[in-house]
Structure 1
Amino acid sequence: MASRIRLEDRECPLSTTVQHVGEWWTLLILHDAFDGYTRFDQFQQSLNISTSMLTTRLKTLVADGLLERRPYQTNPVRHEYVLTERGRSLRPVVVALAAWGNQHLAPEERAMILVDARTGEEAEPVVVDARTGRSLDDSEMYVFTAGPAASEAMRARYTELERRRPEPDPSASE
């Protein structure tokens, strides 16, 4: 896929992540892989995707290190596509996207829900800070800032944003 990333966003982790997984079919293929699909025909049947599009997407996912292509049969040679550790680490992102979608639907309109495999009870996914356990959805509590590898342009962006940000409420940290 041709890069759609703007030159000034090359260092932005959001822009580079979207470059890897922002294409429609990519997320659906990864979702199927999280459900245990590994073979070309499984993906094709599940997604009703053209052979050429699936071939292109799988090659990209392998090149990006999200899937590994392995032979499972020798005569004729057939390959399966298995999630790598890097690919598996995207599962919480896909879960969060699905949860966001379900959040905007009535319960009876949800075609897919996340449940506890042991109890069958519906889960309510949230993204939390591993250190504190607090939800990261509060944009006043958690903000982005320039990291150690930030360019001068990135540092200037976050310096400006910080200057415009209201003073934090000390009582909010309780």
Structure 2
Amino acid sequence: MSLSSLCPKFEKGMKMISQRWNGLIIHQLLNGPQRFCQIESSLPISGRLLSERLKELEHEGIIHRHVYPETPVRIEYSLTEKGQALEPVIRGIEEWSQKWIEIESLQEKKH
């Protein structure tokens, strides 16, 4: 295994954000606390994979899982302080994408 010339912290941060769906989950939670079904319905991701990503982001300290002692049990996910600190990064990517990324229409893909 070769040693990277990148800062190890920067490399780990990029891997965490760029892991499939993580950036979009964080972006979704910038709108405030949400239940699993709200996140799942906003993204084209399977429930199993979403659950896996939420656990990983919770383990990294990016999101908080709050269980309300109700019947039935209600669980909400929100960004921690560490996760909220990603807002300028996520918003920056959002602004850059709006300016520079073009989406091919379905018609163009067919030709």
Separation in 1 of the partners of 2:46 and 2:91? 25
TM-score with structure 1 setting the length:
0.53
SS of corresponding position for 1:24: coil
Deviations along 1:75-119, one digit per CA (max 9) or x if unpaired, are 23232111100000000000111111112158xx8xxxxxxxxxx
Q: Deviations over 1:44-72 (max 9, x none)?
A: 01113211010000000100000011113
Of residues 83, 86, 89, the one that matches 2:82 is 86
Larger Rg: 1
User: Contact 2:33 / 2:79 at 8 angstroms: preserved in 1?
Assistant: no
> Which residues of structure 1 form unaligned runs of 5+?
1-5, 110-174
SS in 2 for 1:74: coil
Structure having greater relative contact order (Cα 8 Å, sep ≥ 6) = 2
Contact 1:37 1:43 in 2 (8 A): no
Amino acid in the other structure paired with 1:62 = E
- Give CA-to-partner distance per residue, 1:127-154, whole Å, 9 cap, x none: xxxxxxxxxxxxxxxxxxxxxxxxxxxx
- In the alignment, which residue of structure 2 is the partner of 1:18? 14
Q: Distance in 1 between matches of 2:96 and 2:47?
A: 30
Q: How big is the shift at 1:13?
A: 3.0
Q: CA RMSD in A?
A: 2.2
Aligned residues: 102
Greater share of helix residues, 1 or 2?
Answer: 2
